[in-house]
Copies of this chain bind each other. A is one copy, B any other.
Amino acid sequence: MHYKKLFTELENECKNLENNGRIASYISELGNVDPNKFGIHLTTVDNKNYGLGDSDEKFSIQSIAKVMSLALAFQIDENNLWDRVGVEPSGTAFNSMIQLEYEKGIPRNPFINAGALLICDILVSRLKNPEQDFVDFFRKVSGNPGIEYCPKLAESEKKTGFRNAALINLMKSYGNIKNDINKVLDFYFKLCSIEMSCKELSQAFLFFAANGTHPVTKVSVLDISKTKRINAIMQLCGFYDEAGEFAFKVGLPGKSGVGGGIIAIHPGKYSIAVWSPKLNKKGNSYRGMKILEFLTSRTESSIF
Q: Which of B98, B231, B244 contacts A237 (CB 8 A)?
A: B244
The interface centre, meaning the residue of A163, A166, A181, A233 with most chain B CB atoms within 10 A of its CB, is A166
Selecting from A15-23, A62-70, A100-108, A149-157, the interface stretch reads A100-108
| Contact across chains for B228 and A302 when beta carbons are under 8 A apart | yes
| Contact across chains for A253 and B304 when beta carbons are under 8 A apart | yes
Closest partner residue, chain B, to A282 (CB atom): B88
Task: Report A229 CB to chain B, min CB distance, Å.
Answer: 5
A277, CB-defined interface residue at 8 Å: no
A173, CB-defined interface residue at 8 Å: yes
How many residues of A sit at the interface, in one of the four size bands?
A: 35 or more
A89, CB-defined interface residue at 8 Å: yes
A-B contact pairs, 27 of them (CB 8 A): A87-B244, A87-B248, A88-B91, A88-B92, A89-B89, A89-B243, A90-B91, A91-B91, A91-B92, A91-B95, A91-B99, A91-B108, A92-B102, A94-B102, A97-B97, A160-B173, A162-B169, A165-B169, A229-B249, A231-B304, A232-B244, A232-B251, A236-B236, A236-B244, A236-B247, A237-B244, A267-B303
Binding site for B on A (CB under 8 A): 86-92, 94-95, 97-103, 108-109, 160, 162-163, 165-167, 169-170, 172-173, 181, 224-225, 227-229, 231-233, 235-237, 241-245, 247-249, 251, 253, 267, 297, 300, 302-304
